[in-house]
Amino acid sequence: MISGSNRVRTPSQTVGPFFGMALPWPAGPLVVPPGTPGAIWIRGQVLDGTGAPVPDALVETWQAGPDGKLPSAEASRAPAFRGFGRSATDPGGQFEILTLRPGPVETADGLPQAPYISVAVFARGLLKQLVTRIYFPESPDNERDALLSALPARARTTLLARPTVDGYRFDIRLQGADETAFFEL
């Protein structure tokens, strides 16, 4: 809006793109330090509805440690494990997080859940973050997980990471025929 001769009109946008200068930090993708025994990479790509990479998205992860417990300030469950990661996407829409594979967790009611990593995606054009989960295909607990079992088979497959040489691949599709299953909070 122009309200004076020395004021400049700013572009009209609902959100961003401001993530590249405001939220990432160098250690953001490192949930554990490099060289941590058992560390794995979670790598993927954020894609829009046409399959084009989203070059200015932000991917956040939260997770339990290998023991299935959330990290706390009082007790470190694993050396230097913080349970939270943040990775900006590069020009090709790629992100990466170095972490430990989570252990099985329990619901507030004590029911078993399969090991998973919670994911939030922030990107321009989104008024709220999108929330999903990463599950591991080889986990025997997947069959008993109430949330995963409640999804139709096609949606369930969008939450399963694919094993790689040094971890897992998890692509996030924001729209389209292969859209990742997202959850309302």
Length of the chain: 185
pLDDT at 24: 72
Cβ–Cβ < 8 Å for 40, 97: no
Q: Enter the tokens of residue 31.
A: 């949930």
Q: 140 φ, ψ to 5°?
A: -70, -20
Domains, the chain, with CATH or none? 19-173 (2.60.130.10)
What local confidence, expressed as pLDDT, does residue 183 receive?
94
pLDDT at 9: 54
| Weakly modelled stretches of the chain, pLDDT under 70 | 1-22, 72-79
| 8 Å CB contact between 139 and 100 | no
Tell me the pLDDT tens digit for each residue of 148-173: 999 999 999 999 999 999 999 999 99
Q: Which amino acid is at 77?
A: R
Which residue has 């200015």 as its token pair? 56
Q: What is the DSSP string of 31-94?
A: SS-TT-TTEEEEEEEEE-TTS-B-TT-EEEEEE--TTS----SS--SSTT--SEEEEE--TTSE
pLDDT given at position 160: 98
Q: Which helix (H) or strand (E) holds 162?
A: strand 162-164
Distance CA 158, CA 18 (A): 28
Q: What is the pLDDT of residue 1?
A: 42
**Dist CA 119 CA 132 (whole Å):** 5
pLDDT of residue 126: 82
Q: Are 87 and 97 in contact (CB under 8 A)?
A: yes
Please, what is the end-to-end C-alpha distance for the chain in angstroms?
35
Q: What is the pTM of this model?
A: 0.85
